[in-house]
A and B are shown apart, each in its own frame.
Chain A
């Protein structure tokens, strides 16, 4: 199968700053692909170009077989997008929010089925502003699924969530992948990338400095003779927290 996202020599500069310096990579259909990197590495710019929200200065990119530069709205029709801050129009219920985005794609959808998919069916009639942080992120994913996208872009989906809600969202992302949707994820949390991603690209100063499955990146590092200064603990504080408070999600 041809790659579902194909990026060649992509460039973008803002004034004097070269945000993206000619990167190339591809994403396989059906995988969870992670784009990692410190703030200012060029992740967001790269993702926004692929989502058709920003113009690149050079190179080429196709998403789901559509050229991003010449047909951004064709790309938008085929992808789902969850932005960092989940913002919805005011004064709508969860169900109406899904309907609003369906209308943006000019599609009729079964809103309740989508809400069920993200475990929000019981909240359908609740104003979206009254939802908890985790629920809002799940609603955001529901709105990103209205057009049955071939690629789902998630921008730091678990930022600000408690450990239970994070794990719940990971399960949701895995279930979306299991249905055959490609997931393109950016995150600051390396544990998240390690658990979810089939392959990760690490960006720094506008370049991709590594691209491989997480396990391989770790093995390569160890092969170079790396050892952790402190002996690896058998458990960490998060394990303690989850052991004491349980894995049950709290806000649903």
Chain B
């Protein structure tokens, strides 16, 4: 323990001295946050909606008026055929078709309930999801208002507020996840392969140092750095974007550290396998890049092609992002995300076994 702490102290000091590396490991996530956050790429704060009002009655007018008043929606009136063409070109997010028999009235026995048809662009799942939610809530409220059933409107109001989720709120947990992954995989792989090539590990192995202590010191160093980076990113997100973090910071950090440990095992496995520094970036990219795109960092994980979704949904970064997002956006507790935690632990175990098999200090 004492040996671990002494080695950790020195390794941390050395790590913090490398200002350039520290700066650049933060600059990419910050840039991503600023670019995607400010430009609102993938923003679903504005959902563009076409309405084809075939009823043209009092009820439909009322519905359109209410929808018009909702800031999140960008409403245009279009006939269905034109709107569908635009939808296919992704110029629209969704189309609401109000049927001729539309009415908001107490249902009479034997009469079919009028149906609103909502077409969604499957290329923009978030926007459609948000749009559908708004429409269904508006209709619920209208129904309740007219049919005078139990006044559950207060509850509905609360849910409607949930819809004010902005894109940055969705984005920030994803950026945290990516940052945790990149830091763990790259920092360990690069540093240890460099040490291996320069003969530092060999020199260290000529001492009676206990290898688990040395590895623990390396892991501790990275966990401290990861904590610092998560703190910086959260601070920027809070100050610059006024991001809402519904859940607690503590569970968020616990999950981030769990993710760090997982990706560190992958970093160690990579460092064990690679014999030269040139191999590191190629393999590290091969591991991280697919997760960058398919693990729900910038867009919903459902944006991945349906064919590979069963796989992408189980990627380590997907599990990490899901857990971070549920805590940050939905206020989940650690117990609520236990499935993801279990998945992360399974990956960690797999990474650990791989690292132990590939990383042999005795070889150097």
Contact = CB atoms under 8 A, between A and B. Distances in A.
Instruction: Report whether chain A binds chain B.
Output: yes
Contact of A89 (B195, B202, B206, B209): B195
Interface stretch (A1-9, A101-109, A159-167, A170-178): A101-109
Counting chain A CB atoms within 10 Å of each CB, the highest count among B6, B11, B195, B203 belongs to B203
How would you classify the secondary structure of chain A's contact residues: helix, strand, loop or mixed?
Answer: loop
Interface string B190-218: 01001100111011111111000010000
A87 interface: yes
Contacts of A99: 6, 10
A77 B204 CA distance: 12
A113 interface: no
B200 A91 contact: no
A112 interface: no
Interface in A78-135: 81, 83-92, 96, 99-101, 103-106
Given A81-B203, A85-B199, A105 B10 contact: no
Contacts of A106: 2-3
Nearest to B210: A106
Interface residues of A, number: 26
B205 A53 contact: yes
A163 B7 CA distance: 36
B112 to A, nearest CB: 75
Contact of A103 (B10, B199, B202): B10
A76 B207 contact: yes
A104 B207 contact: yes
Nearest to A140: B203
A104 B10 CA distance: 11
A237 B214 CA distance: 48
Nearest to A153: B206
B17 A81 contact: no
Contacts of A51: 206
A168 interface: no
How would you classify the secondary structure of chain B's contact residues: helix, strand, loop or mixed?
Answer: helix
B10 A81 contact: no
B14 interface: yes
B18 interface: yes
Interface string B1-19: 0110011001101110110
Interface residues of B, number: 26
B208 A83 contact: no
Interface in B163-199: 191, 194-195, 198-199
A40 B105 CA distance: 96
A73 interface: yes
Contact of B14 (A81, A83, A91, A105): A91
A91 B3 contact: no
Contacts of B14: 89-92, 96
A104 B204 contact: yes
A89 B200 contact: yes
A104 B209 contact: yes
Contacts of B205: 53
Interface in A195-220: none
Given A96-B13, A104-B209, A87 B199 contact: yes
A101 B3 CA distance: 11
B198 A91 contact: no
The 7 A-B pairs with the shortest beta carbon distances in the complex, nearest first, are A91-B14, A104-B207, A104-B209, A81-B206, A103-B6, A76-B208, A87-B199
7 contacts: A73-B208, A86-B203, A96-B10, A99-B6, A103-B6, A104-B214, A105-B207
